[in-house]
Structure 1
Amino acid sequence: MGHRVRVLAGLWALAEVVVFALVAAWIGVGWTLLAALATTVLGWTLLARQGTRALDELRARAREHRAPGTAATDAGLIAVGGALMVLPGFLGDVVGLLCLLPPTRPLVRAAVGRGLAARLGLSAPVRVRSARVPGATAARPPVRIVEGEVVEGEVVEGPVVEGPVVLDTRPHA
């Protein structure tokens, strides 16, 4: 596996050099260097703004004793996206922007989740719309779904877009 990572890193670096050379041939070396500097500054700015928001969300969840949910993966994606934006290279900038911008982050999260599941040989995840626990009463609701709502319905199989639903069957306080 180490050999595969080195080969992929080498191919990525080669692709970055080729793209940099193509952009320099298209708009000139000076403008290319200015664009690379601008994307680095943009990366630092987005990393500071989005990173602060993600850490605030994680702290709030910890104070409320809630599961981190997607806030933890968002923090990781923001760190990776920021690093890619700060490093020189236009391909890394594009991937970094996808990780940093809130509208595109769920797409990256889903793609990474599917890739990890396939790599680990896991079966397709199951999305739960609702669930019932035998012996539930009005005083003790059937189940509390973290990161979602309990809705009358059925269990639906299929890909998870926002991450797995965590079922918490502890009594509510």
Structure 2
Amino acid sequence: MARRRRLSWFLLVAFVVVPIAELYVLIQVGQVIGAWWTIVLLVADSILGSWLVRREGGRAWQALRTALETGRMPATELADAALLLVGGVLMLSPGFVTDLAGILLILPLTRPLFRRVLAGVVARRLTVLGPLGPTGGARGGPGQTDRPGPVVRGEVVEE
């Protein structure tokens, strides 16, 4: 039920709040600099965004290839690719609000922040599949299973 409620809020924001914000910002910018300059600014913004996506996408692709060639798990590279994809889609939609969000996802200075947010979202949604089902047989929490035996605790260290 909570998941459905979150989805409803997300859809409300995506299809009602964002377009209203876009229209408001477009009207405000148009009143300050004029309609034609607003259109020129939107076109220039799209050109800048497409150039930035192409440049950062090429870098992300090269980093992904390097990670795969060295046999390293490309978690960071895949997250960057996902962020670049979402940022590129946001840059395609007309308006300054979505373009700003897209540029923030694309820029190499701000992408690590969004990569951490993405990692947190993915970690919360992840289901571990073990030999006894989705929770590995755990009843009370991590490490509590129906099977007797030692529990080995550890931590993952990334280089």
Question: Do both share a fold (TM > 0.5)?
Answer: yes
Q: Quote how far apart the aligned CAs of 1:99 are.
A: 0.9
Q: Quote how far apart the aligned CAs of 1:3 are.
A: 3.4
Name the stretch that deviates more: 82-91 or 40-49.
Answer: 82-91
Q: Which residue of 2 aligns with 1:101?
A: 107
Q: Which residue of 1 aligns with 2:10?
A: 5
Residue 66 of structure 2 is aligned with which of 60, 63, 68?
60
Unaligned runs of 5+ in 2: 128-151
Q: Decide which structure has greater helix share.
A: 2
Q: How far, CA to CA, are the matches of 1:89 and 1:57 in structure 2?
A: 31
Q: Which residue of 1 aligns with 2:23?
A: 17
Runs ≥4 in structure 1, deviation > 6 angstroms? none
Q: How far, CA to CA, are the matches of 2:9 and 2:56 in structure 1?
A: 32
Deviations 1:78-101 (A, max 9, x none): 111112122211011111111111
Q: Quote how far apart the aligned CAs of 1:69 are.
A: 2.4
Q: Decide which structure has greater strand share.
A: 1
Query: Retained in 1: the 8 A contact 2:42–2:95?
Result: yes
Secondary structure in 2 aligned to 1:67? coil
Write out aligned runs for 1:1-173 (5 A). Answer: 1=4, 2-9=7-14, 10-114=16-120, 116=121, 120=125, 145-146=157-158, 148=159
Query: Retained in 2: the 8 A contact 1:47–1:100?
Result: yes
Unaligned runs of 5+ in 1: 123-133, 135-142, 149-173
Could you tell me the TM-score, scaled by structure 2's length?
A: 0.70
**Percent identity (aligned):** 35
Q: How far, CA to CA, are the matches of 1:14 and 1:52 in structure 2?
A: 34
